[in-house]
Structure 1
Amino acid sequence: MPSFKTSDMSSDIHVDLSNGLENVPVSIEWSIAVTKFPEFQYSPDNIQGPGCTIDPSEVTLPGCSCLSRSCFPENCSCLQTCGQTYDTTGTRLNLNKTNSGYCSPLFECNALCTCSDACSNRVVQRGLRLRLEVYSTEKRGWGVRTLEAIPHGTFVCEYAGEVISFEEARRRQRAQRSEDNNYIIGVREHAGTGCVTETFVDPAMVGNVGRFLNHACQPNLFMQPVRVHSVVPRLALFAGRNIDAQEELTFDYSGGYSNQPPVELLSKQSDAAIQASRADGLQRKECHCGANHCVQFLPLDVSIIN
C-alpha cells in the first residue's frame, strides 16, 4: 500500500491520492499554503487490525445460486436476507428509512454467488466510481468535495481502515492529544433480543478517502453497514439527497442523519462510566459545520449506528 508524505506534494503537480488503487483517481487540491498533509497508507478496503479476530478480506458468507444476469428477491438467498436493496441503476431503495435513527445492514451478492458481476445487487463491492477531491477547508482542516453531481441514494465511498477491537479503540482514544483528530467510527448492530455486533474502524494510519470526510449536523451523506464477502461489515456512505458538483461531502459522526443528538458510546460502559470518561483525557471539540441546528460539539467518543 502506498504511503503519502507532505514532501510528495507540490503546487503544480496533480496527485492521485489512491495511487491507482481506486477505479477513478482521488484528486488533491494542493498548495504550499495549506496545512500539513497527514502521512498514512492508502487502502480502498478494510484490513485486519489489532484485536480483530476476523480477516475482513476473507470470504466467509455463503453465496446465492442464481444463474440470471441479475438477481430477483423471489429466488435469491442474498436478497431474501434483507430484501431488494438497489434498483437497476445501483441506487439505494427505501430511502425513507434512513431518517428513522436506525438502519439495518445490507447484504450484497459476493464472490461465491453464481450471478454475474453485472448483478444489480453488487454496488459497494465495485468501489469508488465518482470523482472526488481532497481539499483544505476554511475552518475544518482537510475535507472532501465531489467534482460531479451525485443523485440521491447513490453510493459515494466507504469509510475504510483498520478493523480493531473495542479495547484497542479505547486505548487509541486515550493516547490521543487534545489537538489530534479522532478517526475511529464504531457501529453497533442489533439482531434480535440481546444480540449485538460491534465493529470499530480506524483509518488514521491505514485508510481511504473516507478518512478526510468532515462531520456535519445536517450532512449530505448517511452511513450504512453493508456485508459483501465477510461478516465484517463495510461502512458505506450514500447520498442522503441530491448533491451538487463542488459541494463538500459530510456525514454525522454520531451515526444519525436527521440532526439527532450525538449518541455517546460506549456499548460496554454504564452511563456513569461514560460520564467518568469525560475526565479521562478526552476533550470535546467544537463543531464548525455551520448548520442552522448545530449541536456545537463533535461526538465525544466513538460513534454508533444502531
Structure 2
Amino acid sequence: MGSLVPFQDLNLLPDPPTATAAAAATATVTPKIEPKLEPLDEPPQTHVQRPPPLQTHELPNPPAPEFFLSSPNAPQTPSPDSSGGGGDQLFSEFHRVSELFRSAFARRYGRGGGDVDVLDPKTRAIVPVKSEEAQVSPFAASPSSGGRRQQLQPRSSELVRVADLSDEDKRYFREEVRQARLIYDSLRVFYMSHEEGVDGRMRRGDLAAASMMRGKGLWVNRDKRIVGPLPGVEIGDVFFYRMELCVVGLHGQPQAGIDYLTASQSSNGEPIATSVIVSGGYEDDEDAGDVIIYSGHGGQDKLNRQCNHQKLEGGNLAMERSMHYGIEVRVIRGIRYGGGATPKIYVYDGLYRILDHWFDIGRSGFGVYKYKLMRIEGQPEMGSAIMRFAQTLRTRPLTVRPKGYLSLDISARKECAPVFLYNDIDSDSTPLHYEYLARTVFPPYLVVQNANGSGCECVLSCGSNCFCASRNGGEFAYDHNGLLTRGKPVIFECGPFCKCPPTCRNRVTQKGLSSKLEIFRSKETNWGVRTLELIQAGAFICEYAGVVLTRDQAQIFSMSGDPLVYPSRFTAKWTKWGDLSKVYPDFACPAYPSIPPLDFAMDVSKMRNVACYISHSSTPNVMVQYVLYDHNNVSFPHVMLFALENIPPLRELSLDYGAADEWTGKPPLLCN
C-alpha cells in the first residue's frame, strides 16, 4: 500500500569552537523562546514603544548551512563532496551511518538489507516499502480501545514520506480522513448542544471533541511524522477549527504556526519543519499566493506583539534545516470568513519549497528571521484562491465569467438565495425548460386530513418543555447555530400551529435555501450542482422537491416513462451523522421517532428544483434527512438535504441515490 520513505540520519557533529565564540559575542539580548502563536482575532490597539535601531554588530550571526555538515578539524570544508581530506573523511562517516540506518529500517519491516535502494537523492529518501509487502499500513490510525480509555501516546519521532500510492490507496486514506472528520464534527456538535462548563457557559466543543478522540486513539496520520503530501487530505480542504488540523495530522500544533520534529526527537539531532500556518496576522509576513515571506517565531509577548529579537532555534532552525535538505512544507492558510461559525477558517493550499532565509529588522524594530517560500508547480489550484474567486462570483458573476451564464437565478426568486445556471461546454439549456419548484407539493387531501392544529405553546423561544421537542425524543434536532446534532429517522420541526416565532431554532429547513448554488454543465454527469459558498458539516442545504405521488399514481406515471424519484431508495447516511459508537461503546443509533417504510414517489418530469441535478456518489458529501413540519403523516415526510462534511466553494455536491435501476444497473440519476 504505497511507500513509506524515512529520511537520512546526518550524524550531527560537534559545533566548531568559532561558533561558540560568535554566539557569546552577540548575546546582547535574550528573546523569549516560544512557538509562533496565532494572533488574536481582534488584537487590542495598544501602543508599543519602538526600541532604538540595532547596529550591525548587535545582530546575531546565524550559522551558514555549511556549518551543520562541517568537521571541527576542517571548518572551511563547505560540503561532504568537496575536495580535501576532511571532506573525504566526513563523507565516509556519512556513508557508514547511512548504511546502518538503511539496514535497521529494512530489518524493522522484515526485509533484507540488499534490496534497499535510494528513491530520490534530492529528498534524502532512503527506503521504499513495496505495496505488495505492506499488508497493513504502518501509519494507519490505531483502533479504538472501546470503552477503555487509551493511554495517550506521544507523537512519533520517525520522519517518513508517503509515495507511490495507488488509486485504491488514495480512496482508502481519503475515507479514513473522512470518517475521522465525521466523528469529530459529530462530537463537537454534541458537546455544544448538551454540555456546559462549570461557570454555566458552553464548553469549547472543538477542544473537547479532539481530546476525546485522542484518548480513544482516533486521530489519523499520527503513527509517523509525515513530510510532504498527507494521505487522505486534498488541496482545498477547509477546516473550521485548529484542533481539526491536529485530528487529521495536517498540522500537529494546536496554536503554534510552525510544526516540526524537534532536535531531541530527530535521529540526526536536527529539527525538521513539516507544516506552517499562514494567517496574515503578523506584521512581517508577506503573502503573494505562490510566494510567501514567512516570519519566524520567538520574541513575542502574550498579545503576539514583537517585543524582543528572535534566535535561530526551535521552529526557526527547523525551517532553515528543511531549506538546507530541500524538504518541502505543507502550507495552511488562515482566512477570515464572515458569516461562518468561526471568525477564521483554515484552507490547505499544498506544498511549498523554502528557497531562502535571512535575519532582518522587522516593522516593530526587532530582529526577526524571514523565510521565502515558493509553491511547487504542478499542484491543483490553491483552495484560498478558489475561495476568493467564488466570493467574486457571488457578487459580480459577469465580471469574471462574462460568457456561459444561462440564468442568474433559475428559481425566479422563489428561493431565498439565487440559483445560477452555467454552461460553458455546449448550447444545452435543458434546466430552463422546467418550472422551478421550491417546495414539495403533497396531495391536498393528505394535508387537510393531518392538519389537526397540534403544536407547541412556546411564545418567545422553545425550551426543554416544548411539545415538538418531546416528539423528537425529548431533545431538539439542531444546535443554536442551526447544525444538525444527529441524524434520526424523522425530525419534527415546529409548524404553522406552533406559537413560537419564525426565528425558532426548530424551524431550520423551513427557512429555505441559505447558500448560493450553481447548476453547471458537466462532461462527466451531464449536469451537476456546486456551491458558491462554504457549507459547514451538519448545515441544511435545500429540499429535494417534487410532486408527491401515491403508489397507485406512481405505477401509472412509470408506465409512461416519466422520471420518478423514490425517497425510500436513498441510502440512510443520516445514521452516520452523530454516530458516536467508536467513542461511546453503549451508543445506539436513534430509532425514535420511527416511521413506516416510505411508499411514495416524486414526479420531477415537469417541475423540479436545484436538488434534482445533484450527482450520485457512493461517498457523498450530502445526506438525506426526513423532516415533518406542515403535516403529521409520517409516511409522507419532506426530503431535506444536509452537508455530511465541510464543503468548500465550487466543490460539486453529491448524493448516494442508493438502489440501482433494475434495467440499466446504474444509479437513478433521473434528472441528469
| TM-score normalised over the length of structure 1 | 0.70
Q: What is the letter of the counterpart of residue 80 of structure 1?
A: S
Return the alpha-carbon distance in structure 1 between the equivalents of residues 429 and 507 of structure 2: 37
User: Shift of the alpha carbon at 1:36?
Assistant: 4.0
From 451, 454, 467, the counterpart of 1:77: 467
Is the CA contact (8 Å cut-off) linking 2:477 and 2:506 kept in structure 1?
yes
- Where does residue 45 of structure 1 map in the other structure? 439
Residues 154, 61 of structure 1: CA spacing in aligned structure 2 closer, same or farther, 3 A cutoff? Answer: farther
Return the alpha-carbon distance in structure 1 between the equivalents of residues 492 and 664 of structure 2: 35
From 458, 466, 469, the counterpart of 1:66: 458
Is the CA contact (8 Å cut-off) linking 1:47 and 1:56 kept in structure 2?
no
The structure with higher relative contact order (CA 8 Å, sep 6+) is 1
Q: What is the letter of the counterpart of residue 92 of structure 1?
A: L
Identical positions, percent: 30
Deviation string 1:212-267 (CA, Å, 9 cap, x unpaired) is 1111111101001100112342100000111111011111112xxxxxxx388xxx
User: Shift of the alpha carbon at 1:35?
Assistant: 3.1
Within 5 Å, give how 1:135-284 maps onto structure 2: 135-176=520-561, 182-187=563-568, 195-231=596-632, 232-254=636-658, 262=659, 278=662, 283-284=663-664
Residues 26, 122 of structure 1: CA spacing in aligned structure 2 closer, same or farther, 3 A cutoff? Answer: same
Q: What is the letter of the counterpart of residue 186 of structure 1?
A: P
Residues 55, 30 of structure 1: CA spacing in aligned structure 2 closer, same or farther, 3 A cutoff? Answer: farther
User: Shift of the alpha carbon at 1:184?
Assistant: 1.2
Q: Secondary structure at the match of 2:430?
A: coil
Is the CA contact (8 Å cut-off) linking 2:626 and 2:637 kept in structure 1?
yes
Is the CA contact (8 Å cut-off) linking 1:183 and 1:211 kept in structure 2?
no
Is the CA contact (8 Å cut-off) linking 1:46 and 1:57 kept in structure 2?
no
From 29, 37, 46, the counterpart of 2:422: 29
Return the alpha-carbon distance in structure 2 between the equivalents of residues 300 and 28 of structure 1: 19
Q: Secondary structure at the match of 1:242?
A: coil
Return the alpha-carbon distance in structure 2 between the equivalents of residues 54 and 201 of structure 1: 15
Return the alpha-carbon distance in structure 1 between the equivalents of residues 512 and 594 of structure 2: 34
Residues 173, 144 of structure 1: CA spacing in aligned structure 2 closer, same or farther, 3 A cutoff? Answer: same
Return the alpha-carbon distance in structure 1 between the equivalents of residues 404 and 410 of structure 2: 15
Is the CA contact (8 Å cut-off) linking 1:59 and 1:111 kept in structure 2?
no
Residues 122, 57 of structure 1: CA spacing in aligned structure 2 closer, same or farther, 3 A cutoff? Answer: farther
Return the alpha-carbon distance in structure 1 between the equivalents of residues 552 and 567 of structure 2: 12
Q: Secondary structure at the match of 1:198?
A: coil
User: Shift of the alpha carbon at 1:194?
Assistant: 10
Return the alpha-carbon distance in structure 1 between the equivalents of residues 627 and 506 of structure 2: 11
Return the alpha-carbon distance in structure 1 between the equivalents of residues 535 and 624 of structure 2: 16
Task: State which structure, 1 or 2, has the greater radius of gyration over its C-alpha atoms.
Answer: 2
Return the alpha-carbon distance in structure 1 between the equivalents of residues 619 and 503 of structure 2: 34
Within 5 Å, give how 1:117-136 maps onto structure 2: 117-136=502-521
Residues 152, 195 of structure 1: CA spacing in aligned structure 2 closer, same or farther, 3 A cutoff? Answer: closer
User: Shift of the alpha carbon at 1:174?
Assistant: 3.4
RMSD: 3.1
Return the alpha-carbon distance in structure 2 between the equivalents of residues 204 and 211 of structure 1: 11
Return the alpha-carbon distance in structure 1 between the equivalents of residues 551 and 470 of structure 2: 31
Q: Is 1:105 the counterpart of 2:490 in the alignment?
A: yes
Q: Secondary structure at the match of 1:93?
A: coil
Residues 183, 199 of structure 1: CA spacing in aligned structure 2 closer, same or farther, 3 A cutoff? Answer: closer
User: Shift of the alpha carbon at 1:175?
Assistant: 2.6
Return the alpha-carbon distance in structure 1 between the equivalents of residues 598 and 628 of structure 2: 13
Is the CA contact (8 Å cut-off) linking 2:532 and 2:649 kept in structure 1?
yes
Deviation string 1:161-215 (CA, Å, 9 cap, x unpaired) is 1011112223333332xxx8x4412338998999545332222311211111111
Q: What is the letter of the counterpart of residue 91 of structure 1?
A: L
Q: What is the letter of the counterpart of residue 71 of structure 1?
A: C
Is the CA contact (8 Å cut-off) linking 1:17 and 1:26 kept in structure 2?
yes
Is the CA contact (8 Å cut-off) linking 1:160 and 1:211 kept in structure 2?
yes
From 419, 426, 446, the counterpart of 1:54: 446
User: Shift of the alpha carbon at 1:142?
Assistant: 1.0
Q: Secondary structure at the match of 1:44?
A: coil
Return the alpha-carbon distance in structure 2 between the equivalents of residues 110 and 37 of structure 1: 35
Is the CA contact (8 Å cut-off) linking 1:284 and 1:300 kept in structure 2?
no
User: Shift of the alpha carbon at 1:126?
Assistant: 0.5
Deviation string 1:59-115 (CA, Å, 9 cap, x unpaired) is 4562100123x212x210101111310001110002xxx5xxxx4100111111111
Q: What is the letter of the counterpart of residue 187 of structure 1?
A: S
| TM-score normalised over the length of structure 2 | 0.33
Return the alpha-carbon distance in structure 2 between the equivalents of residues 163 and 56 of structure 1: 15
Q: Secondary structure at the match of 2:606?
A: strand
Residues 194, 110 of structure 1: CA spacing in aligned structure 2 closer, same or farther, 3 A cutoff? Answer: closer
Q: Which sits farther off after the overlay, 25-34 or 186-195?
A: 186-195
Return the alpha-carbon distance in structure 2 between the equivalents of residues 151 and 193 of structure 1: 27
- Where does residue 480 of structure 2 map in the other structure? 88
